[in-house]
Amino acid sequence: MGEKHNIYLVQADILRQTPKFRTAYLPYGAGALWAYARQSPRVAERYALGGLFFLRGRVAEAAARMEHPFLVGFSCYCWNTEYNKRLAQAVKAAYPRCHILFGGHNVPPGGAMLDELPYVDFLAHGEGEIPFRALLEALCEPSPDFAAVPGLSWRAGRAVLTNADAAAESVADFPSPYLEGIFDPIVAAHPDIQWSTVWETNRGCPLACAYCDWGRHKAKVREFPMERIVGEIQWMCGNKVEYIWCADANFGLLPRDEDILNELASARGRTGYPFVFLSQTTKSPNERLFRIIETLNRNGLDRAGPDLAVQSMSPEVLRNIGRENMDDETFSHWLRRFRQAGYRTHTDLILGLPGESLRSYCDGVGKLFALGQHRGIWNSLCVLLPNSLMATPAYREKHGIRTTRRIFSHKPNHMPGMPGAQDEPEAEHIAEYIDTVTETAAMPHEDWRTANHFMFLAQGAHGYGLLRLAATYLHTENIVSYADFYLRLLDFCHRHPGTLPGETMAHVEQAFIGGIHGEEAPLSIPGFGAWHMAEDRYIFIRAVLEPERFYGDAAEFLRQFGLEPGLLGQLLRYQRESVLLPGAAEKTLEFEYDFPAYFSAIYGDGKPVPLEKRAVRLRFSFPGHLSPADGYFNSVIRSDRLANDALYRIEETR
Ligand code: SF4
């Protein structure tokens, strides 16, 4: 037997770090490929794993670390494809005979990517294990038969050919990269890194959402064996993995998910790890999911609660994307059930789906508020994943979908939502891109912009609570709907640019559109970090830094709704006093109306009661610090305890 050929696998991610910690993801996908491939005796005999590259190091240095690479496989997603291209080019320049393989979610169907990237030799489509192993086996032969490798695009002379994907196999025999020891050298070599990882307990999703690249493979859920799962839990906890991102499409769908979580919770009790278990929960809440959330909370593992995802509230949109939501009553029931038990929930919404108009989108947000989801809407922009149904030319044409190639991340600390995320120190900053839907037949570009501005304002003013009580009163009394309240507030901002909300929204809108077109105009406030600040948080912080001005302007806005001046004054004062502004953690105030009874009926069981005019003495309290010198911003702004809500606890006192 001659010397083995060196295989390198690249699944490069950014390093997330603060002065106190450095954290990175283990390259799960790459590890899974190698664990599966080396089961083949021919692969084991002919190849050795030269290395797994999991951080975006300097391109030249990464290429130089590879010793006579025979094949380098790159896992491509929207956050690393441009980096992969640069590294692949460098490897090919240094080793022209090295085979370059691109695979992963960002490799589109067909062989067009080979035409664009002459330094890439092969593309793997679909699940990677089978094409990867079959390609390595084919390359053992003096005259490889690439036509026999499932899911492969390759060059035959001047032609580019693509083979049919392999049928989805049972995953029961897929070896675990954790248990095969594939990550052990990485963990041993980087004692300074706190690990995050992706974990699969099953693969596949029974649904088929048009925007999702899993949905295209609408497939039976294939389970990994319990023995493997238990072993992986022991490995992850034993190796101090802090953050587990469960990649199951619907955690809680299978009865055994509860057993899996109990096993994880008990391992956490013994080892202290992990700190967080994050999953995409089943789309049909049930008692099992409730118990799962209970277990997560009891063991301190929960960060986000269940996802009562809707994506859209429009029946037409749901038909277009092949999705069915739970009905309003069920949604509201589970929302309140989780809330009454003290658990947060969140609701995913996507902006820019086919068939969604500005009106239907704003009405959908308003409806979620009316159903009780006031503070946990997680809005995303619709993006075109290359392997989704939505990305196909026929679908795009049918729905008039236009996209903008938007920068996904380009510089340290600019990655939305990921404070401190950065490439390896001193690495080149290579921009990554994502195709974002910025216009559809139902939502012209101008409307798309307005819908975004509406959402930022609704999340900042309603989600955090700045104007939630006022909006709730006006909605409940049928004076103005939630959607129109925030649309009118947006209009007020545009017509009154000198007000604080007007000034704030001008900055938000400028930064947003600049970001879409690749300009560097991150939202930031001195003293709050250098990274891009989320728009809703920016709106909230601007208001709490100048509350007199904000609520003075809000009074002017609210006057248009024709409330009797005495009531308006009381409502506005109650609204303002309810928000956690810098100041005292406790206070006692008197009002002429019984606002607590009125709002707790609406936010509690959703059954409104009349607002009673009666003198009340109220105690406002907050368990954290509200003094600016004593940690207000850590308690209120940075703390995830609040989950996007910044209101006092209020009770009547004597
Ligand atoms: S979005 Fe979620 S539920 Fe829909 S197909 Fe994808 S994984 Fe399944």
Nearest atom, ligand 1, residue 211 CA: 1
Please give the structure tokens belonging to residue 363.
Answer: 């009405």
Q: How far is the CA of 206 from the centre of ligand 1 (A)?
A: 8
**Euclidean distance between the first and the last CA atom of the chain, given in angstroms as a whole number:** 89
Could you tell me which CATH class the domain 5-162 is placed in?
alpha beta
1.10.167.10, 1.10.260.40, 3.40.1670.10, 3.30.750.210: which CATH number matches 174-304?
3.30.750.210
Backbone angles phi, psi at 447, to 5 degrees: -65, -35
Return the pLDDT at 167: 82
Torsion sign across C-alpha atoms 266, 269, 273, 277? positive
Contact between 7 and 50 (Cβ < 8 Å): yes
Q: How does pLDDT run across 3-12, given as a tens digit for each residue?
A: 899 999 999 9
**Residue 205 Cβ < 6 Å to ligand 1:** yes
Return the pLDDT at 430: 87
Return the pLDDT at 399: 98
Return the pLDDT at 554: 98
Which whole-number Å values give the CA distances from 340 to 22, 284, 310, 344, 600, in the listed order? 37, 19, 21, 9, 12
**Could you tell me the pLDDT band of residue 418, with boundaries at 50, 70 and 90?**
very low
**Residue 391 Cβ < 6 Å to ligand 1:** no
Which whole-number Å values give the CA distances from 372 to 212, 287, 429, 452, in the listed order? 27, 20, 43, 21
**Residue 249 Cβ < 6 Å to ligand 1:** yes
Return the pLDDT at 166: 84
Q: How does pLDDT run across 215-224, given as a tens digit for each residue?
A: 666 578 899 9
| Residue 525 DSSP symbol | -
Residue with CA nearest ligand 1 atom 2 = 249
Nearest atom, ligand 1, residue 218 CA: 5
**Residue 293 Cβ < 6 Å to ligand 1:** no
C-alpha of 99 from chain center: 34
* pLDDT mean over 25-52: 97
Residue with CA nearest ligand 1 atom 5 = 215
Q: How does pLDDT run across 81-105, given as a tens digit for each residue?
A: 999 999 999 999 999 999 999 999 9
The residues that bridge with 409 in the sheet, in sequence order, are: 432
* pLDDT mean over 209-237: 89
Nearest atom, ligand 1, residue 206 CA: 8
Return the pLDDT at 216: 61
Q: Is the pLDDT of residue 19 over 50?
A: yes
Return the pLDDT at 364: 98
- C-alpha 326/C-alpha 373 separation (Å) is 14
Residues making up the chain, counted from first to last: 654
**Residue 382 Cβ < 6 Å to ligand 1:** no
Angle subtended by helix axes 468-476 and 595-603, to nearest 10: 80
Return the pLDDT at 643: 53
Mutate which of 202, 212, 348, 353 to test ligand 1's pocket (most atoms within 8 Å of Cβ)?
212
**Residue 219 Cβ < 6 Å to ligand 1:** no
Contact between 540 and 462 (Cβ < 8 Å): no
Q: Is the pLDDT of residue 525 over 90?
A: no
- C-alpha 475/C-alpha 255 separation (Å) is 41
Please give the structure tokens belonging to residue 343.
Answer: 């658990």
Query: In CATH terms, are 5-162 and 174-304 the same topology?
Result: no
Based on C-alpha coordinates, what's the Rg of the chain? 27
Mapping DSSP to helix (H, G, I), strand (E, B) and coil, where does residue 115 land?
helix
Residue with CA nearest ligand 1 atom 4 = 209
Mean of all residue pLDDT scores within the chain = 91
* pLDDT mean over 553-564: 98
> To the nearest 10°, the Cα dihedral for 233, 234, 236, 238?
160
Nearest atom, ligand 1, residue 214 CA: 6
> To the nearest 10°, the Cα dihedral for 632, 534, 367, 439?
170
**Residue 214 Cβ < 6 Å to ligand 1:** yes
* pLDDT mean over 255-260: 96
Cβ contacts of residue 369 below 8 Å, gap of 6+?
Answer: 458, 462, 471, 472, 475, 482
Q: Is the pLDDT of residue 473 over 50?
A: yes
Please count the CA atoms within 13 angstroms of the CA of 78 that sit on its side-chain side.
Answer: 16
Among the listed ranges 201-205, 338-342, 408-412, which one has the minimum average pLDDT value?
A: 408-412
| Residue 447 DSSP symbol | H
Backbone angles phi, psi at 37, to 5 degrees: -65, -40
Residue with CA nearest ligand 1 atom 3 = 207
Nearest CA to 136 among 68, 73, 224?
A: 73
Return the pLDDT at 459: 94
Q: How far is the CA of 394 from the centre of ligand 1 (A)?
A: 21
Helix (H) or strand (E) holding 502: helix 500-516
**Residue 215 Cβ < 6 Å to ligand 1:** yes
**Residue 212 Cβ < 6 Å to ligand 1:** yes
* Amino acid identity, position 294: E
**Residue 353 Cβ < 6 Å to ligand 1:** no
Question: Which conformational region is residue 529 in: left (phi greater than 0), alpha (psi within -120 to 50 degrees), or beta?
Answer: left
Return the pLDDT at 410: 43
**Could you tell me the pLDDT band of residue 415, with boundaries at 50, 70 and 90?**
very low
Q: Is the pLDDT of residue 114 over 50?
A: yes
Q: How far is the CA of 221 from the centre of ligand 1 (A)?
A: 12
Q: Is the peptide bond before 225 cis (omega within 30 degrees of 0)?
A: no
Nearest CA to 538 among 480, 598, 456?
A: 456
**Residue 251 Cβ < 6 Å to ligand 1:** no
Return the pLDDT at 1: 54
Which sequence spans correspond to the domains of the chain? 5-162, 174-304
* Amino acid identity, position 414: H
